[in-house]
């Protein structure tokens, strides 16, 4: 079954469901009809028996006990229909009354016939076989003595009066059920074909994308049913994949561009050193020291760039190891590093306790990046103001600030403002900050500060006191 196409399975299941329903309805109809016909047959036997009692001569002892129809065929004429009537004696002897002849008696008939006269009337109804046909028999005790024996009156009708119509009804119901199943299979095929047409389009689109890797293909969305929702979800998925591919390609291009500059500088400096060694012409000590310092700076820049790329290469969906982090301690650590990098700067800090749930190393890196930016763009002898209160960390410098048209791009990967391209850096620091803060459930923003400079605001949910399980 699972190997069949979905359309064929739907058609088969529809036909099977209709077949079960039709079969159940047909069986119920046949059973109800059978019960009704049997009830009518028993009622007709009771009426025939009442008619036979009325036509019996009195006294009963004058009845001639014949074993079959007499030659004249008209002695009693109890019932001219297909009802056969006979008198049953206590010893099982039968006396013909009407019909084609006598029929076989059973022990139940003999028991009824042996009932003493004057007692309550007893009746039994049963079915017997007479040759190749069945008879429905009703036997009732009568208060007459025939040949010195008690007797009973039996009437019978062929069971073919019921089985014949039931057989015709069964064939009719079978034909109707067969036609219904065929019709249901046809309708099921048509419905499955129409209902699965959007799925066919979706399948074709998926196969086209798998074959061509063209993620720009979209499925038209029609209506608001499940297929429409599936189409919308598929379009959203392909859009996300296309965007991810573009970001990946952009990341590779930007990383290649950023790596080219320090690598080119390193190659140039190393070639100068190599040429100096090859020609035997030693560089002046000052030039050699400057050259080695440049090589060291370029290697440091490469190491920072590779570290930033490794940080950004982690999947966005990866679940970091969250822990309770004292944000004020992380901020104090970042402040110590900032003071070492900008010894001529005045750094004013106002830090209150605040505990957050996040990744400690990543949060420290993010706050260090914010302060590094403040140190980088602060003029000599300038001031940096750091404040942490109520889960909001602000870092304000008094540098040139960021142009309003550049603010929407500050958290993009490898983006650097024109004024910062001459300064060291990879353009990934603020991207790492935004990613880390988002993973911790917070927000970060950069704005132009009143009076000049840049104001970085980082907000993280937390509490001013440590949880009970922490010291």
**Close Cβ partners of 446 (under 8 Å, ≥ 6 residues apart):** 402, 407, 410, 411, 430, 454, 455, 456, 457
Q: Going residue by residue through the chain, which has 471 residues, state the pLDDT in tens, using 9 for 90 and above.
A: 567 777 777 778 888 888 888 889 989 999 999 999 989 888 888 888 888 777 776 655 556 676 666 655 444 444 446 788 888 888 888 888 877 788 888 888 888 888 877 778 888 988 888 888 888 999 988 877 777 788 888 999 888 888 888 999 999 988 988 888 888 888 888 877 777 777 777 788 888 888 887 877 777 777 777 777 888 888 888 888 887 777 677 667 666 666 676 788 788 888 888 888 788 777 788 878 887 887 877 787 677 667 666 666 665 544 556 788 899 999 998 888 888 877 888 889 999 999 998 888 788 888 888 888 888 888 888 889 999 998 899 999 988 888 777 777 777 766 666 555 545 555 667 777 888 888 888 899 888 888 788 899 999 998 888 876 655
Boundary-marking domain end, from 164, 183, 205? 164
pLDDT at site 64:
65
Structural domain range at position 446: 323-463
Same domain as 334, residue 293: no
Considering only CA atoms, which of 170, 109, 175 is closest in space to residue 142? 109
Query: Residue 415: which CATH number?
Result: 3.30.565.10
Same domain? 21 vs 101? yes
Dig out the tokens for 53 from the structure. 């009692």
Note the pLDDT of residue 265.
77
CATH of the domain at 244: 1.10.287.130
Residue 274 lies in a domain: yes
Cβ proximity of 389 and 350 under 8 Å: yes
> In angstroms, rounded to a whole number, what is the distance separating the alpha carbons of residues 155 and 83?
7
Shared domain check, 301 and 336: no
Cβ neighbours of 36 (radius 10 Å):
11
Instruction: For residues 309 and 384, state if they share a domain.
Output: no
pLDDT value of residue 77: 47
In this prediction, residue 82 carries a pLDDT of 77
């Amino acid at each position: 079954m699972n190997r069949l196409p979905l359309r064929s399975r739907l058609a088969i299941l529809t036909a099977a469901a209709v077949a079960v329903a039709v079969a159940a309805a047909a069986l119920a109809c046949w059973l109800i009809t059978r019960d009704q016909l049997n009830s009518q047959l028993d009622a007709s036997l009771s009426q025939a028996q009442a008619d036979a009692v009325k036509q019996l001569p009195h006294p009963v002892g004058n009845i001639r006990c014949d074993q079959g129809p007499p030659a004249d065929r008209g002695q009693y004429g109890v019932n001219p229909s297909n009802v056969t009537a006979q008198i049953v004696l206590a010893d099982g002897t039968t006396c013909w009354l009407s019909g084609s002849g006598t029929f076989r008696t059973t022990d139940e008939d003999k028991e009824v016939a042996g009932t003493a006269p004057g007692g309550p009337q007893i009746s039994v109804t049963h079915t017997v076989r007479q040759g190749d046909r069945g008879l429905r028999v009703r036997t009732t005790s009568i208060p007459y003595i025939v040949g010195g024996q008690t007797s009973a009156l039996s009437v019978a009708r062929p069971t073919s009066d019921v089985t014949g119509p039931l057989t015709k009804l069964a064939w009719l119901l079978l034909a109707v059920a067969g036609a219904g199943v065929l019709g249901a299979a046809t309708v099921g095929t048509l419905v499955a074909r129409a209902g699965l047409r959007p799925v066919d389009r979706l399948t074709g689109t998926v196969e086209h994308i798998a074959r061509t890797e063209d993620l720009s293909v979209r499925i038209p969305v029609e209506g608001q049913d499940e297929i429409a929702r599936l189409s919308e979800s598929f379009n959203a998925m392909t859009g996300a994949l296309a965007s991810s591919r573009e970001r990946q390609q952009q990341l590779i291009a930007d990383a290649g561009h950023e790596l080219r500059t320090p690598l080119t500088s390193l190659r140039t400096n190393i070639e100068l050193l190599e040429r100096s060694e090859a020609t035997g012409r030693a560089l002046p000590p000052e030039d050699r020291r400057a050259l080695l310092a440049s090589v060291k700076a370029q290697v440091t820049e490469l190491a920072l760039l590779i570290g930033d790329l490794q940080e950004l290469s982690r999947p966005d969906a990866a679940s970091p190891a969250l822990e309770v982090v004292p944000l004020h301690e992380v901020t104090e650590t970042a402040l110590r590093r900032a003071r070492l990098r900008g010894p001529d700067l005045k750094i004013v800090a106002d830090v209150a306790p605040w505990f957050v749930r996040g990744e400690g190393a990543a949060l420290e890196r993010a706050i260090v990046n914010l302060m590094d930016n403040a140190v980088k763009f602060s003029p000599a002898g300038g001031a940096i103001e750091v404040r942490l209160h109520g889960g909001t960390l602000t870092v304000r410098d008094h540098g040139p600030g960021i142009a309003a048209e550049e603010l929407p791009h500050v958290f993009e990967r490898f983006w650097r403002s024109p004024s910062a391209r001459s300064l060291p850096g990879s353009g990934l620091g603020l991207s790492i900050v935004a990613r880390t803060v988002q993973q911790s459930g917070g927000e970060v923003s950069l704005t132009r500060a009143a009076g000049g400079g840049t104001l970085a605001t980082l907000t993280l949910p937390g509490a001013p006191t440590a949880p009970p399980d922490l010291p």
